[in-house]
């Protein structure tokens, strides 16, 4: 399930990649180039910088009470210098390369940089200011260069390669072997194996791709901001909920309209409710088309040339690296392994989903006829008549759920679930420094009372926080040089309490809380030697599995009864509401699945190309969608011109990963349903074989150890009502 604009809900890159790349990812997501702000007053503060001192705090957490935004840049630069010196020492070692003096030494290098950059990434996202933003954009190129200097250091790669060539004679443990393989792979995937000429071309390609990605993002922002739909007749708002009407009125004022009117934009929280509730068909059409044509208007902000060039360069780069296509290159490092496996999965879900979406179309068409409209159902009609069908079938008002989902009650719900499954205990700590007074910090204990880790929870939206929800590890578990226990964070954008009213969150937000806590458990249960293989450092199409699986529990009546009580009366959630939640779970899933999978196919179509000839995106997309038999009333969740996940985010040839992880989570949850929801033995096996293993084994191997077989697709089809 996607969380936030670019779904950045987890940092999951390899450790010394992470040091350099998460900053760039965070910077890209924040659209830093577009943020002005005064130039940061960055002092050259190296002495008296708490980031560079020993952290004399409970559990060695960062001393947030003493860290100022100015401290990050100089400290991170010290961290880079330190690592460069450490790398130089590895290369200068007169002894032959060994696992210890090269692979482990590399793993140890950059300790200071790693320690500080994860804290910086978290704080910049969760409580950033002009200085942290400026720091992030200043650092992005410096860190990219620093990373290149490591992975393209020929003498260093020679040593890594020397160890790798003797890998079968070294008597390594399974985890050591994995570290060696992953380290070697990281160098090779960055181009270390290439000739000087090829490396030079690779650097050119990477630089051009980075700037194309930036252009794509800027064009998309311009196209999105350029559009507005101004409503002046209240009747055109239909049954739009009062809170959204108020938001639209604010938006109109913000845009300088002095009338009694309401402005709607192409941002999803604005467009979807309008399409759902407005009876004005012409207005729905204008908004829908405005959204769907972004980046494809043949104007200055058109994205077609940009994305065609991106696709072309990616094909050239993958050929340079010895792969058949960009998708082959990307997926060789994923659980899916190759495009054949991805297509196999997508095809199995596509046919049933398409069939169900055609039934849904018939229902909505009938509703439209009843409304007196004698025309073909269109894309801009779908959500409007879906809402009418939903009302007629389920009469289910999501607002009526809110009083049962007070944020601290939901938090206690996920804690209670963790106690039932794993025996964990939680204790609130108020002696631990935080980066914002809203934060809650908990010490987590094992069933036997021993310390497991620390979790920071930061629930509420505020100006200084980026959108969406995410988890971070601000200290990764390891035991290379003594036991290091994990420190993790969960971040959300829930409505803050105001006055006497507490923070009441929607069911979707409650799911998000369970989701992020699944990532937190993955980080905290890590039980490995090497930090770069710990916790959530697993492939992207696997890492969402431990989080998504938690969403299953949340909607089960037994779990709802653990925590969902009325915040004023204490009355437990009524059975009638539980029944409605259950009954509506499969509603509109044909549409939702089809729009998602269509986008996944589109991503694949661009990235399995093995020719470097430029495509013409409009025709290319049309024919890709005709090939799969997409119906006219549904468009892909993202069309080419605004598919930021794949053209300016990190999800190229990876968009399928969301549904891949969902197949696994549905099948894994089935293991509990086959025994009992809180079955201790299944939970222990899940912890041992999956949650504790980090990236020390392949996703497929871990899953087989847990389930005794490969994941099956039926539980997902069942859950979505597609069979």
Which one, 25 or 231, has the nearer CB to Zn ion? 25
d(CA 566, CA 402): 9
> Smallest gap, in angstroms, from Cβ of residue 253 to Zn ion?
35
Which one, 9 or 360, has the nearer CB to Zn ion? 9
Q: Half-sphere exposure of residue 294, counting CA atoms within 13 Å on the CB side?
A: 27
Which one, 544 or 603, has the nearer CB to Zn ion? 544
Which one, 263 or 549, has the nearer CB to Zn ion? 549
Annotated catalytic residue 406 = no
Binding segment (CB under 5 A) for Zn ion, from list 362-370, 418-426, 505-513, 540-548: 540-548
Taking the CA atoms of 341, 345, 346 and 352 in sequence, report the sign of the dihedral they define: positive
> Smallest gap, in angstroms, from Cβ of residue 493 to Zn ion?
14
> Smallest gap, in angstroms, from Cβ of residue 519 to Zn ion?
6
Nearest residue to 151 (alpha-carbon basis) of 118, 199, 187: 187
Strand duo 470-475 + 487-494: pairing: antiparallel
> Smallest gap, in angstroms, from Cβ of residue 543 to Zn ion?
7
Rule CB under 5 A: is residue 199 a binding residue for Zn ion?
Answer: no
Which one, 512 or 532, has the nearer CB to Zn ion? 512
Which one, 387 or 544, has the nearer CB to Zn ion? 544
Contact status, residue 560 vs residue 574, Cβ threshold 8 Å: no
Contact status, residue 586 vs residue 357, Cβ threshold 8 Å: no
Strand duo 440-445 + 451-460: pairing: antiparallel
β-sheet bridge partners, residue 426: 444
> Smallest gap, in angstroms, from Cβ of residue 375 to Zn ion?
41
Which tokens hold the place of 652? Answer: 């190229």
Which one, 190 or 644, has the nearer CB to Zn ion? 644
Nearest residue to 55 (alpha-carbon basis) of 46, 66, 45: 66
The size of the chain, in residues, is: 723
| Sheet with strand 470-475: strands edge to edge | 425-428, 440-445, 451-460, 487-494, 470-475
Please name the helix (run of DSSP H) or strand (run of DSSP E) that holds residue 707, with its range, or none: helix 699-707
d(CA 418, CA 440): 18
> Smallest gap, in angstroms, from Cβ of residue 626 to Zn ion?
33
d(CA 9, CA 25): 11
Binding segment (CB under 5 A) for Zn ion, from list 1-9, 156-164, 310-318, 359-367: 1-9
d(CA 505, CA 479): 39
- The CA distances from residue 340 to 39, 331, 346, 347, 577, in Å, are 49, 10, 10, 10, 43
Contact status, residue 367 vs residue 389, Cβ threshold 8 Å: yes
Which residues between 542 and 581 bind Zn ion (CB under 5 A)?
544, 547
Binding segment (CB under 5 A) for Zn ion, from list 373-381, 400-408, 473-481, 541-549: 541-549
Catalytic hit among 86, 104, 516, 662: 516
- The CA distances from residue 208 to 30, 156, 672, in Å, are 21, 26, 48
Binder among 6, 8, 9, 647 for Zn ion (CB under 5 A): 9
> Smallest gap, in angstroms, from Cβ of residue 651 to Zn ion?
13
Nearest residue to 452 (alpha-carbon basis) of 485, 478, 474: 485
Binding segment (CB under 5 A) for Zn ion, from list 109-117, 476-484, 539-547, 605-613: 539-547
Which one, 26 or 630, has the nearer CB to Zn ion? 26
Which one, 216 or 459, has the nearer CB to Zn ion? 459
Phi/psi class of residue 633: alpha, beta or left (left: φ > 0; alpha: ψ in -120 to 50)? alpha
Binding segment (CB under 5 A) for Zn ion, from list 6-14, 172-180, 435-443, 705-713: 6-14
d(CA 93, CA 91): 6
Nearest residue to 426 (alpha-carbon basis) of 413, 417, 415: 415
- Judged by CB under 5 A, how many residues of this single chain contact Zn ion? 3
> Smallest gap, in angstroms, from Cβ of residue 20 to Zn ion?
22
> Smallest gap, in angstroms, from Cβ of residue 3 to Zn ion?
6
Catalytic sites, residue numbers: 516
Residue ranges in contact with Zn ion by CB under 5 A: 9, 544, 547
């Amino acid at each position: 399930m996607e969380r936030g604009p670019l779904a950045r809900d987890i940092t999951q890159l390899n450790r010394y990649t992470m040091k350099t790349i998460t900053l760039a990812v965070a910077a890209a997501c924040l659209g830093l180039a577009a943020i002005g702000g005064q130039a940061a007053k960055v002092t050259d503060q190296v002495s008296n910088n708490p980031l560079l001192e020993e952290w004399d705090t409970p559990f060695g957490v960062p001393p947030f009470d003493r860290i100022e935004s100015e401290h990050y840049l100089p400290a991170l630069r010290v961290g880079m210098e330190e690592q460069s010196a450490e790398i130089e020492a590895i290369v200068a070692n007169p002894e032959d390369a060994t696992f210890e003096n090269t692979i482990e030494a590399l793993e140890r290098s950059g300790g200071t940089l790693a320690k500080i950059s994860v804290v910086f990434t978290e704080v910049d996202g969760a409580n950033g200011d002009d200085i942290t933003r400026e720091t992030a954009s200043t650092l992005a190129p410096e860190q990219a260069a620093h990373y290149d200097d490591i992975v393209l250091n020929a003498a260093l790669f020679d040593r890594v390669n020397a160890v790798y060539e003797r890998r079968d004679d070294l008597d390594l443990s399974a985890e050591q072997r994995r570290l060696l393989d992953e380290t070697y792979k990281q160098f090779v995937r960055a181009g270390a194996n290439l000739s000087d000429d090829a490396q030079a071309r690779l650097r050119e390609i990477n630089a051009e791709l980075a700037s194309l990605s930036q252009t794509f993002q800027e064009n998309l922002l311009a196209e999105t901001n350029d559009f507005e739909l101004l409503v002046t007749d209240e009747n055109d708002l239909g049954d739009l909920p009062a809170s959204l009407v108020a938001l639209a009125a604010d938006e109109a004022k913000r845009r300088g309209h002095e009338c009694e009117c309401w402005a709607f934009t192409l941002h999803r929280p604005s467009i979807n409710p309008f399409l759902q509730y407005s009876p004005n068909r012409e207005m729905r059409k204008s908004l829908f088309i405005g959204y769907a044509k972004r980046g494809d208007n043949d104007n200055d902000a058109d994205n077609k040339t940009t994305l065609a060039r991106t696709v072309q360069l990616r094909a050239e780069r993958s050929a340079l690296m010895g792969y058949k296509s960009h998708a082959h290159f990307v997926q060789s490092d994923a659980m899916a392994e190759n495009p054949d496996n991805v297509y196999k999965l997508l095809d199995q879900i596509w046919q049933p989903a398409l069939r169900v979406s055609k039934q849904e179309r018939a229902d909505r068409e009938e509703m439209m006829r009843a409304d007196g409209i004698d025309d073909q159902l269109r894309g801009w009609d779908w959500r409007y008549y879906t809402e009418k069908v939903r009302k007629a079938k389920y009469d289910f008002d999501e607002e009526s759920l809110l009083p049962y989902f007070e944020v601290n009650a939901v938090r206690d719900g996920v804690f209670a679930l963790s106690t039932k499954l794993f025996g964990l205990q939680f204790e609130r700590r108020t002696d631990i420094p935080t980066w914002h007074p809203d934060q809650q910090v908990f010490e987590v204990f094992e069933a036997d009372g021993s310390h497991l880790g620390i979790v920071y929870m930061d629930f509420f939206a505020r100006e200084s926080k980026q959108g969406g929800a995410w988890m971070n590890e601000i200290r990764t578990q390891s035991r290379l040089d003594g036991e290091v226990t994990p420190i993790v964070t969960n971040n959300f954008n829930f409505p803050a309490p105001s006055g006497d009213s507490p923070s009441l969150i929607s069911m979707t937000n409650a799911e998000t809380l369970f989701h992020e806590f699944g990532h937190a458990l993955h980080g905290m249960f890590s039980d490995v030697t090497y930090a770069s293989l710990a916790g959530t450092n697993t492939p992207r199409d696997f890492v969402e599995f431990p989080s998504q699986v938690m969403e299953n529990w949340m909607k089960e009546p037994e779990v709802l009864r653990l925590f969902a009580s009325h915040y004023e009366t204490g009355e437990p959630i009524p059975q009638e509401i539980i029944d409605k939640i259950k009954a509506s779970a499969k509603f509109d899933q044909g549409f939702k699945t089809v729009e998602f999978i269509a986008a996944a196919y589109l991503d694949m179509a661009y990235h399995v190309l093995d020719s470097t000839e430029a495509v013409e995106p409009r025709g290319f997309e049309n024919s890709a969608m005709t090939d799969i038999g997409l119906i006219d009333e549904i468009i892909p969740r993202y069309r080419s011109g605004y598919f930021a996940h794949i053209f300016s985010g990190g999800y190229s040839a990876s968009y399928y990963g969301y549904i891949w992880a969902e197949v696994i989570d549905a099948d894994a949850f089935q293991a509990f349903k086959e025994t009992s929801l809180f079955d201790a033995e299944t939970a222990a096996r899940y912890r041992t074989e999956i949650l504790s293993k980090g990236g020390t084994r392949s996703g497929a191997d871990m899953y087989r150890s847990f389930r005794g077989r490969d994941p099956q697709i039926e539980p997902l089809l069942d859950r979505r009502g597609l069979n």
